[in-house]
Amino acid sequence: MSGVHDHHGSAEMTRRVDALVARLAHRGLVTDAAIAETIESFLTHAKPSNGFRIVARAWSDDAFRARLLDDANAAVAELGIDLSHWAPVTLRVVENTADVHNMIVCTLCSCYPIALLGPSPAWYKSAEYRARAVSEPRAVLAEFGVELPERTRIRVWDSTSEMRYLVLPRRPAGSDGLDEQRLATLVTRNGLIGTALV
């Protein structure tokens, strides 16, 4: 991906957020310090290792995996991961299999499970990725070095402000004897987006 970013759109959003914060502060509803503390707390806990732990647990605990696929919000809460920092969102975990490969995109903006993956990469926000992931996902995956058999179906999941997705990659061959901590080291952020194999 070229990594093109819409600077005009980002500048406009920054202006609007700054105006909203100024209004709230003027009315005494928030302070700059409280906002900074909230953001710092969120970013401290928002990291890819959260997603890595989730996958490692799912790979090593079939009951957890079933709960994760059924109700991801409840399952990740079992691990002490809070998804409600900014707004309530529903998390859906989609599982890669021998027949289906999943990939995440947000065609409207860049909705992304930050709490589980950390800040989104620039390419994820780019208009090019957002358009091409839907229209030609196999070509996009090839650019990331992911070559799938023709028989493998690719499902693209479009995130929204209310719904976030996380890919549960296939467990690597030869990893049967590894504990959760070691399994977590095999997982990558791109694997959880679906633009890499694990």
- The two structure tokens encoding residue 117: 């993956």
Our answer to whether residue 109 is catalytic in this structure is yes
Find the catalytic residue in 10, 84, 106, 135.
106
Our answer to whether residue 111 is catalytic in this structure is yes
Find the catalytic residue in 2, 41, 60, 110.
110
Quote the CA–CA distance of 161 and 169 in Å, as a whole number. Answer: 23
Our answer to whether residue 84 is catalytic in this structure is no
Find the catalytic residue in 109, 126, 159, 175.
109
Our answer to whether residue 120 is catalytic in this structure is no
Find the catalytic residue in 60, 111, 126, 159.
111
CB-based burial label for 138 (10 Å; 0-12, 13-18, 19+): middle
Report the catalytic residues: 106, 109-111
